Amino acid sequence: MVLLLSLVLASVADYALVFWLKLPQPQTSFLGIYRRTGPETGPQVFCAGSSLTESALTWSKVSAALGQGIETWGVGGSSPDIWEEWQKQRPHSNVTIIGVSVYDLNEMHLADARANVVPLSRTIDDLWSSHVDSALAHRILTQYPLKYVRLLLPTAGNADKVLVGLRSKAAGLLGGRSSLAAREGVALQPPPPILDAGESTSSVTEWSSAYLIRRLVVLRAEDRGRHEFLTGPKNRALHRLLSQARNQGRVILVVLPVSRPYIEEFIDESARAAFEEAIKQAMAIVPEATLVRLDRAPAISDPAYFVDLVHMNSLGRRVATEAFLKEVTHNGSMDEPR
């Protein structure tokens, strides 16, 4: 009875903290937040990508150029193993846009909601076939029991979100919330189902040095200080995603930029070479795909173009959208697969 009462009280307190900090509620089955733009009739473009992809382009302009509606789903930190499940919901899309980056394809970076979307059987098969190291396999597999633990203790495994929430509450109580947001930047999104990153000119250049260091330390801890691209569930899922997209129609693979501080902190020559090899392997699967290297646009990694270390702000989005539309139009008709 004492153990049961303790568990109940702990659960109630944990849910109270979640409610007070306005953290996302736990769910055991979650495909993601559906978003779309453009015409709702006729063939729809399937967009496979994380919030980096959403923030990098003005999707209403892309939709107008394609003459089709665009739809996607979203969960925090998503990657190809999750996008593959979304693709199954749209087997008749005649155009697929896939956005990738050194952040998305890093096998060491795990989406918090991965176990809610990707079936355990698929995960086990990918881990077995790709021969990842035991530490990474353990991290991925423990996500599955954790999603059920969160039914009782929703903050389990979410220490950073809790700390950020507490810091925001403290700033509000001390009258400093507006100045906190101004210094640190906030990624804005309209409510679903609108596919639009929202307008924001906040940038990493406005961050304090202490906050920049803190965010880099958090990312290093999440990724265990490593970037791996060629072996793991994400790599296998990306190949399957591309193969299926090729069967459905036109494929556009977009390589997204990240900010210069991120590159300087995490991407050494070895990681860069491995990432380029991953892109090369992906293009070998769909050689007729349109490859758009936004990460190579002049000065695109300037911190002034990013609202945080990996998401573009309105200034960066305008530059990236212009480069994207120019490249896609130059490489072929917007209506026909290449």
326-337 tens-digit pLDDT: 999 875 544 443
pLDDT-derived band at 22 (thresholds 50, 70, 90) equals: confident
pLDDT score, position 178: 52
Structure tokens at 108: 């060491």
Q: Inform me whether the pLDDT recorded for 155 exceeds 70.
A: yes
Reported as type and span, the H/E element at residue 238 is helix 233-248
At residue 46, φ and ψ (nearest 5 deg) are -95, 125
% of the chain with per-residue pLDDT over 90: 71
**In sequence order, which residues have a C-beta less than 8 Å from that of residue 156 and are 6 or more positions away?**
146, 149, 150
- In this structure, what DSSP letter does residue 295 have? G
Decide which of 181 and 167 is more confident: 167
Quick one: which of 336, 309, 323 has its CA closest to 52? Answer: 309
Q: How crowded is the C-beta side of 178, counted as CA atoms within 13 Å?
A: 1
Q: Domain residue spans in the chain?
A: 28-330
Mean of the pLDDT values across residues 23-43?
79
Highest mean pLDDT among 145-149, 150-154, 268-272: 268-272
pLDDT score, position 199: 87
Task: Give the CA distances from residue 157 to residues 136, 143, 249, in Å, rounded to whole numbers and listed in that order.
Answer: 16, 9, 40
Distance CA 196, CA 40 (A): 16
The pTM is what?
0.88
User: Domain 28-330, what fold?
Assistant: Rossmann fold (3.40.50)
